[in-house]
Amino acid sequence: MIKNICCIGAGYVGGPTMAVIAQKCPHIKVTVVDLNEERINSWNSEDENELPVYEPGLAAVVKEARGRNLFFSTAVDQAIDDAEMIFISVNTPTKTYGVGKGMAADLKYIELCARQIARVAKSDKIVVEKSTLPVRTASAIKDILTNTGNGVQFQILSNPEFLAEGTAVADLFQPDRVLIGGDTTPEGQKAIQALVDIYANWVPQDKILTTNVWSSELSKLTANAFLAQRVSSINAMSELCEQTGADVNEVAKAIGLDSRIGPKFLKASVGFGGSCFQKDILNLVYIAKSYGLHEVADYWEQVIIMNDHQKRRFAKNIIKTLYNTVSGKKIAFLGWAFKKDTNDTRESAAIYIANDLISEQASIAVFDPKVEEKQILKDLNALETRSAETNQKGIQTFQNSYDACEKAHAIAVLTEWDEFKTYDWQKIYDNMLKPAFIFDGRNLLDKNKLEEIGFVYQAIGS
């Protein structure tokens, strides 16, 4: 039975997943390691607001297990050496250079981990791919691990993570399924069983699915592609709704009642964000192309094209509605995170909308309950559209929505934070310039109530 686990990568996946394993398995020592010392210090902070990842319920889980059987550390070699099972949970971003630039997953961090494990390991280990990886990565990891010449035996498992941010703890406590892929050899099956036994501490056996490694790796990319495709599909219909008098919320409800379609993931929006959907689909497209499957590649690429279009047309509509100019106009952004209940801003639609509007010389005023100014500027600067100084002049961050909206020409709702629904909208209206516009990129607010107050309200898809 496994008694000692190490996880390389203390990010949005490594942190919460390991915290939950540690909480549910007090008999297993779990050490989460990262090269980023600041991140590790934050995980070790006594102040729950300092944790590097905001997720409802996470602070309590960390508090219960940390120091008991959950440890956060920068001593990577030591943790690898001690562990019987090593999860690799490092980032696998889209490549920004060389062959596959802008499409393929950059696997340099994965390879570094494999080489470090190969160098340090003195006893047999089970290596678990927790990161999302292109299909067949396990064979590259295996190559690196088996050519060390020090006689240590490795088993490679694929165990992709399906948690969504904002609901990570609930998703980890009660996953729809846990997927574990491994070799069909007896040693492979033994390794699979060792990981099954860990999850079986809280996940019902019938929800633990075992497959071969390649099916497991590819299922993760497939799941994200299907999910993102649903959002792009409903967003495509939202534009048609706007032209025809149909209401996308009504259409979504009508089709969602068909049990073959189902009601989830049909919320029209300003466009999907997050660190996974775009990256994983681009990766899928790249893989398909590399096998010469151009129709497959084009099919999935359309999901991204539609999403980019949805973001761009939201910004364009703001400009058009504000009499074709936003130059010098204050536009308040409610929300910067890519969805509610997370402090994560990666690929958030807000970044792209802000970028487009700043190019038109708008003055953006942001309020997000969990995102700080430093992050907002970092996100904008990463686009490299203009200098950091110009970005700084184009955007201001506020500690509350009322100040952000004061004297604004328009409000754009970009994240569906619950608190936005309960604001004193009359007060906000009174302090805005007139006509007071609201562009609700999340179809979150009450149209009738806002129109009664006097707002000019526009939603997505109606």
Residue 416, SS3? coil
Min separation Cβ 418 and ligand NAD, Å: 20
Partner in contact with 391, chosen from ligand UDX, ligand NAD, none, beta carbon below 5 to 8 Å by kind: none
Determine how β-strand 70-73 pairs with β-strand 85-88: unpaired
User: Where in the sequence numbering do the catalytic residues fall?
Assistant: 276
Q: How far apart are CA 237 and CA 288, in angstroms?
A: 27
Residue in this structure with the two tokens 């009642």, named with its chain if needed: 257
C-beta atoms surrounding 311 within 10 Å: 24
303 touching ligand NAD, by CB under 6 A: no
Q: How far apart are CA 14 and CA 73, in angstroms?
A: 13
40 touching ligand NAD, by CB under 6 A: no
Complete DSSP assignment for 10-58: -STTHHHHHHHHHHH-TTSEEEEE-S-HHHHHHHT-SSGGG-SS--TTH
Beta bridge partner(s), residue 437 = 410, 456
224 touching ligand UDX, by CB under 6 A: yes
Q: Residue 9 or residue 461: which is nearer to ligand NAD going by CB?
A: 9
Min separation Cβ 119 and ligand NAD, Å: 12
* CA distance readout (Å), 448 to 253, 348, 422: 20, 28, 15
Partner in contact with 360, chosen from ligand NAD, ligand UDX, none, beta carbon below 5 to 8 Å by kind: none
132 touching ligand NAD, by CB under 6 A: yes
Min separation Cβ 224 and ligand NAD, Å: 8
Say if CB 277 and CB 271 are below 8 A apart. Answer: no
Min separation Cβ 313 and ligand NAD, Å: 26
Residues 6+ apart with CB under 8 A from 84: 2, 3, 4, 5, 123, 124, 125, 126
Name the burial class of residue 424, with classes exposed (0-12), middle (13-18) and buried (19+) by CB atoms within 10 angstroms of its CB: exposed
Q: Residue 133 or residue 450: which is nearer to ligand NAD going by CB?
A: 133
For residue 181, give the DSSP letter. E
Near ligand UDX in 321-380, by CB under 6 A: 338-339
181 touching ligand NAD, by CB under 6 A: no
Q: Residue 108 or residue 421: which is nearer to ligand NAD going by CB?
A: 108
Partner in contact with 272, chosen from ligand NAD, ligand UDX, none, beta carbon below 5 to 8 Å by kind: ligand UDX
Q: Residue 266 or residue 322: which is nearer to ligand UDX going by CB?
A: 266
Partner in contact with 131, chosen from ligand NAD, ligand UDX, none, beta carbon below 5 to 8 Å by kind: ligand NAD
Near ligand NAD in 62-81, by CB under 6 A: 76
- Residues engaged in binding ligand NAD (CB under 6 A): 8-14, 33-36, 39, 76, 89-92, 109, 112-113, 131-132, 161, 163, 165, 275-276
- Residues engaged in binding ligand UDX (CB under 6 A): 161-165, 224, 227, 231, 265-267, 269, 272-274, 276-277, 338-339
